[in-house]
């Protein structure tokens, strides 16, 4: 039952929203999560990859369940436009999750700590007042009005909620990747390796990925820059790729989506508002990885948000602590990755082939992502230094 | 005017993300454009992964 008043209202029941809700609820404040879709964790608009280090850091190694993990990869293959292969051994392995189960468990976890989760609950308007916000919700044809001291916007790529507080979250088309993905079976692949096809011809301004989900089953998807989405769209590019490379595949799921490949919002807070996850534009602009940043912003927002209620101060100034900490730690390379994206976006297919050539006949164990990206930005001294730092863990 | 093809639309929200007027809304089951506020910048058309949005000439017929 939706109550008329909560300390904190979280909009969006993805990993960012439910993680924030859990950390806030643990402090004894009242929390409601409003999730638009009828089901938590579905549809899965995500390639489902996350680094093992990040998930362990934010959720705790002891809490990670086998059912969340579809597969583990410590190898990565880059395929150039003409089909040249660069195999890279990752220093740190990554998980391909099962988001349906993962998201559901995170929501369940938040609920067990005291947060109330509502599905099928669409927040259509928010009205900001001096000491609180009025949140307007529609759930199965019925309308509700809820008073909240603090709103946490975790509404994903759309990022509409923050706009009700006067925060400009609109993306330029060049700062969003337009994506299509299938979950496909009957795929010839290696189940401990993630593959990337980079080519302006097959994926302009982006790439095609294959993330293994198990034996012969994988997420295969494409992200193309919004500015290149012209005569052909993401879905058509992906269909063509599948017809050429995986003609025997059966498609079990078809999904469309988008990844903000932008710099993080200028500010993640306003009086009575915190913005987290994709809504704050914190996904990695090069890899598109967004689950890790969702957990890192969600964790900090939940902790600081809960404290804000207990200390009766939901001013932007108080809430800012969560953002400062994030920028110092998890977000310190986002700006660099954005600049790196701008470079990668403009590399021609000929140049990509030449780059791949430089790794011919090398032992994959000796190739690191640092080296790959160093070669990519060899003529950009400012970026070169950061490549070593940012990819140190990979 | 921007029109939506509901068969192609997957409700992914890319159009909402780039709309400078905030005049696109996705509730549980459909995409809604407030045509009075729309300035026809076509950002939404540019980022749609499946050509579900299209600009057409305003024609009452």
Whether the predicted interface score ipTM is above 0.90: yes
Task: Specify the CATH architecture of the domain B2-55.
Answer: 2-Layer Sandwich (3.30)
What span, in angstroms and rounded, lies between the C-alpha atoms of A189 and A313? Answer: 53
Distance of CA A231 to the CA centre of its chain: 27
Q: Does B23 touch chain A (CB under 8 A)?
A: no
> Cα Rg for chain B, rounded, in angstroms?
11
Residue of chain A with shortest Cα separation from B49: A234
What span, in angstroms and rounded, lies between the C-alpha atoms of A156 and A152? Answer: 12
Q: Which pLDDT score, from 0 to 100, does residue A345 have?
A: 84
Please give the domain boundaries of chain A with CATH numbers for all domains.
5-45+100-171+264-328 (3.50.50.60), 63-97+173-261+344-394 (3.30.9.10)
Q: Which chain B residues are closer than 8 Å to A256 by Cβ?
A: 10, 12, 49-50
Instruction: Please tell me which residue, B57 or A38, carries the higher pLDDT value.
Output: A38
Q: Does A51 touch chain B (CB under 8 A)?
A: no
Q: Which chain B residues are closer than 8 Å to A258 by Cβ?
A: 12-14, 17, 47, 49
What span, in angstroms and rounded, lies between the C-alpha atoms of B15 and B49? Answer: 10
Determine, for residues A257 and B49 on separate chains, whether the beta-carbon distance falls below 8 Å: yes
3-state secondary structure at position B13? coil
Q: Does B50 touch chain A (CB under 8 A)?
A: yes
Q: Does A45 touch chain B (CB under 8 A)?
A: yes
Determine, for residues A158 and B17 on separate chains, whether the beta-carbon distance falls below 8 Å: yes
**pLDDT tens digits, one per residue of A54-96:** 999 999 999 999 999 999 999 999 999 999 999 998 888 899 9
End-to-end C-alpha distance for chain A, whole angstroms: 46
Q: Does B46 touch chain A (CB under 8 A)?
A: yes
Query: 0.90 cut: is pTM over it?
Result: yes
What does each C-alpha distance from A87 to A193, A302, A352 come to in angstroms? 9, 39, 15
Q: Which chain A residues are closer than 8 Å to B18 by Cβ?
A: 170-173, 176, 226
Residue of chain B with shortest Cα separation from A123: B27
- Determine contact, residues A180/B49, Cβ cutoff 8 Å: yes
Q: CA of A134 to nearest chain B CA: how many angstroms apart?
A: 19
Q: Which pLDDT score, from 0 to 100, does residue B61 have?
A: 45
Determine, for residues B10 and A255 on separate chains, whether the beta-carbon distance falls below 8 Å: yes
Number of residues that make up chain A = 394
3-state secondary structure at position A346? coil
pLDDT tens, position by position, for chain A (394 residues)?
Answer: 999 999 999 999 999 999 999 999 999 999 999 999 999 999 999 999 999 999 999 999 999 999 999 999 999 999 999 999 999 988 888 999 999 999 999 999 999 999 999 999 999 999 999 999 999 999 999 999 999 999 999 999 999 999 999 999 999 999 999 999 999 999 999 999 999 999 999 999 999 999 999 989 999 999 999 877 667 999 999 999 999 999 999 999 999 999 999 999 999 999 999 999 999 999 999 999 999 999 999 999 999 999 999 999 999 999 999 999 999 999 999 999 999 998 888 899 999 999 999 888 888 888 888 888 888 888 888 777 778 777 765 5
Q: Per DSSP, which regions of chain A are E strands? A: 5-11, 31-34, 49-51, 69-79, 85-97, 116-118, 121-128, 133-139, 142-153, 176-185, 193-197, 207-214, 217-225, 250-260, 269-270, 273-275
Q: Does A174 touch chain B (CB under 8 A)?
A: no
Q: Closest to B48 (Cβ–Cβ): which among A170, A172, A178?
A: A178
Q: At what angle do helices A349-357 and A369-376 cross, to 10 degrees?
A: 130
Q: Does B57 touch chain A (CB under 8 A)?
A: no
What does each C-alpha distance from A132 to A6, A150, A153 come to in angstroms? 10, 7, 15
């Amino acid at each position: 039952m939706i109550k008329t008043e909560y300390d904190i209202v979280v909009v969006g029941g993805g990993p960012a929203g439910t993680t924030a809700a859990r950390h806030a609820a643990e402090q004894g404040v009242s929390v409601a999560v409003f999730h638009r879709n009828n089901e938590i964790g579905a549809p899965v608009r995500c390639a489902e990859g996350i680094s093992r280090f990040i998930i362990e850091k934010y959720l705790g190694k002891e809490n990670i369940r086998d059912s969340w993990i579809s597969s583990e990869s410590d190898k990565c293959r880059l395929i150039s436009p003409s089909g040249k292969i660069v195999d890279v051994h990752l220093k740190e392995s990554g998980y391909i999750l099962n988001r349906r189960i993962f998201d559901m468990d995170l929501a369940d976890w938040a609920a067990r700590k005291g947060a109330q989760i509502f599905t099928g609950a669409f927040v259509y308007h928010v009205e900001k007042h001096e000491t609180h916000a009025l949140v307007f919700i529609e759930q199965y044809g019925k309308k509700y009005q809820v008073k909240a001291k603090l709103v946490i916007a975790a509404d994903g790529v759309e990022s509409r909620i923050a706009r009700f507080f006067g925060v400009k979250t609109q993306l330029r088309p060049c700062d969003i990747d337009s994506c299509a993905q299938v979950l496909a079976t009957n795929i010839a692949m290696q189940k401990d390796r993630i593959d990337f096809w980079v080519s302006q011809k097959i994926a302009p301004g982006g790439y095609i990925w294959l993330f293994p989900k198990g034996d012969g089953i994988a997420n295969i998807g494409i992200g193309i820059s919004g500015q290149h989405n012209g005569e052909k769209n993401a879905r058509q590019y992906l269909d063509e790729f599948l017809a050429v490379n995986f003609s025997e595949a059966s498609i079990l799921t078809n999904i469309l989506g988008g990844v903000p490949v932008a710099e993080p919002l200028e500010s993640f807070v306003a009086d009575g508002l915190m913005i987290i996850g994709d809504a704050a534009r914190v996904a990695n602009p090069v890899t598109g990885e967004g689950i890790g940043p969702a957990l890192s912003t969600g964790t900090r927002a939940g902790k600081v948000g809960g404290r804000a209620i207990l200390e009766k101060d939901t001013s932007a100034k108080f809430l800012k602590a969560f953002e400062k900490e994030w920028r110092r730690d998890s977000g310190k390379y986002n700006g660099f990755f954005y600049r790196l994206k701008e470079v990668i976006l403009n590399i021609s297919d000929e140049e990509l082939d030449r780059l791949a050539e430089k790794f011919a006949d090398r032992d994959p164990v000796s190739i690191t992502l640092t080296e790959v990206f160093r070669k990519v930005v060899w003529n950009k001294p400012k970026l070169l230094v950061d490549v070593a730092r940012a990819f140190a863990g990979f | 005017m921007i029109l939506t093809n509901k068969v192609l639309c997957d409700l992914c929200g890319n159009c909402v993300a780039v709309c400078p007027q905030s005049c696109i809304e996705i509730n549980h089951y459909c995409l809604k454009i407030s045509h009075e506020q729309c300035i026809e910048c076509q950002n939404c058309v540019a980022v749609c992964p499946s050509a579900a949005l299209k600009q057409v000439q305003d024609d009452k017929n």
